[in-house]
Amino acid sequence: MSYEQRIIKLIESDELRMSALRAARALGLPGWLIAAGFVRNLVWGRLFDNEVDLGDIDVVYFCTADTSKERDQILERRLCELEPGLPWSVKNQARMHLKHGDTPYKSTLDAMRYWPEKQTSIGVMLDRNDDIVVQHCFDLGFQFNGNVDHNPARTVDVFKKRVSGKGWLKLWPALQIKT
């Protein structure tokens, strides 16, 4: 079974994640994905036999027509109406280059190429046929290698601060840090 198939099977077997995908799809956002820990933490949880609660649900999308933070807040409220109690976080990647001092991103996937860890640069969406589509910036083998790998698009200092701040080594002590 391919890495992509393994990820799809993991998500399909998780009703909470499937509900989140259906809710996000209902917004009809351009270039949307549920990304980062939504996939990464599920894989690490199975890999290290320590599944953790679903943290925030990072819905990312790409729309140059309205890059306001207010729009993201409206979308978060809409998701809370569709799936109350889930920890939604919505961010339009068309404006996130400003926060990080990068040149403007071209798409959601292009924005993800700058995320500090290779394992975080992955997202999934649910198409109109209810099929899970996986989008990623790095080889999917990184998801299963037992490491958290530095993405050279960000400084090692940014990477180390995130690893420390996220507490991943407390959740998964066997996780290896690769800079």
CATH of the domain at 79: 3.30.460.10
Return mean pLDDT, the chain.
97
Could you tell me if residue 173 is inside a domain? no
Q: Is 150 helix (H, G, I), strand (E, B) or coil?
A: strand
Q: Encoding tokens for residue 138? A: 């790095």
* Residues 12-37, mean pLDDT to the nearest whole number: 98
Asked if residue 163 is part of any domain, the answer here is: no
Q: What is the pLDDT of residues 61-102, one digit of tens each?
A: 999 999 999 999 999 999 999 999 999 999 999 999 999 999
Please give the pLDDT value at position 36: 97
Secondary structure (DSSP) of the chain: --HHHHHHHHHHT-HHHHHHHHHHHHT--TT-EEETHHHHHHHHHHHTT-------EEEEE--SS---HHHHHHHHHHHHHHSTTS-EEEEETTTHHHHHTPPPPSSHHHHHTTSSBGGGSEEEEE-TTS-EEEEESS-GGGGGSSEEEBPTTS-HHHHHHHHHHHTHHHH-TTPEEE-
Q: Does the pLDDT of residue 55 top 90, yes or no?
A: no
Is residue 29 assigned to a domain?
A: yes
In a domain, 66, yes or no: yes
* Total domains, the chain: 1
pLDDT at 54: 87
Residue 48 domain boundaries? 3-144
Q: Is residue 150 part of a domain?
A: no
At residue 37, does pLDDT exceed 90?
Answer: yes
Average pLDDT over residues 50-55: 91
In a domain, 161, yes or no: no
Give the span between the Cα atoms of 115 and 108, in whole angstroms.
11
| Residue 28 lies inside a defined structural domain of this protein | yes
